[in-house]
Amino acid sequence: MLEKIILAGFGGQGIMFLGKLLCTTLMNEGKHVTYIPSYGAEQRGGTANCHVVLSSKPVGSPMVEKATIVVAMNQPSYEKFKKYVQDGGLLITNKSMVELKDPPKNAVILEIPATDMASKIGDVRLANMIILGALLAKKNFTAAEKFYEQFAHFLTGKKAALIDKNKQAVEEGKQHTININK
């Protein structure tokens, strides 16, 4: 397994949380991982992105020049990172906030209305977990339950009350993706 991933969106969309969750979960499954966040103006409303490499072998470079997966949660991220998807790679967009303009020709494109779906659950901040569900439906990283085990480590204190909603969002994102691929 070798996945080179770019996750990008506005600050506050949970991009860094999603990257850390992917890395921590798969590291605990014995995979080699790297995580490089971009903290330029990642505060809520600014842009944020991170590079994640997941591998069954040691990772030579943590930088992602051509990605097997790009997640674009907003229009500026789509415009900036769509060119990084390798031929045959997966581009997941948050259809609620991204209009496909000049999409990469040789990429598999998956449009998920993540923000709209998260809003129906009751919290737009769950859009990142909708996307995690889509990723799990398309890629066999590991069982969703392994990610759920990590929620207890990341979502502590007042955030612990969000664990069930996060699980629900992952499951809804996964099911939505399975349904559109039928």
Mean pLDDT score, 81-98: 98
Q: Which of 177, 15, 19 is nearest to 112 (CA)?
A: 177
Tokens found for residue 34: 């790297």
Give percent of the chain above pLDDT 70.
Answer: 95
pLDDT in tens, 133-145: 999 999 988 899 9
The pTM assigned to this predicted structure is 0.94
**pLDDT at residue 61 in the model:** 85
Q: How many domains does the chain have?
A: 1
| CATH label of the domain that carries residue 110 | 3.40.920.10
Please report the pLDDT score of residue 111 as a whole number.
98
Q: What is the mean pLDDT of the chain?
A: 94
Q: What is the span of the domain harbouring residue 174?
A: 2-180
Mean pLDDT of 102-119: 97
d(CA 30, CA 141): 12
Using one digit for the tens of pLDDT, what is the confidence trace for 31-47? 999 999 987 654 566 67
Q: Tell me the average pLDDT across 12-20.
A: 94
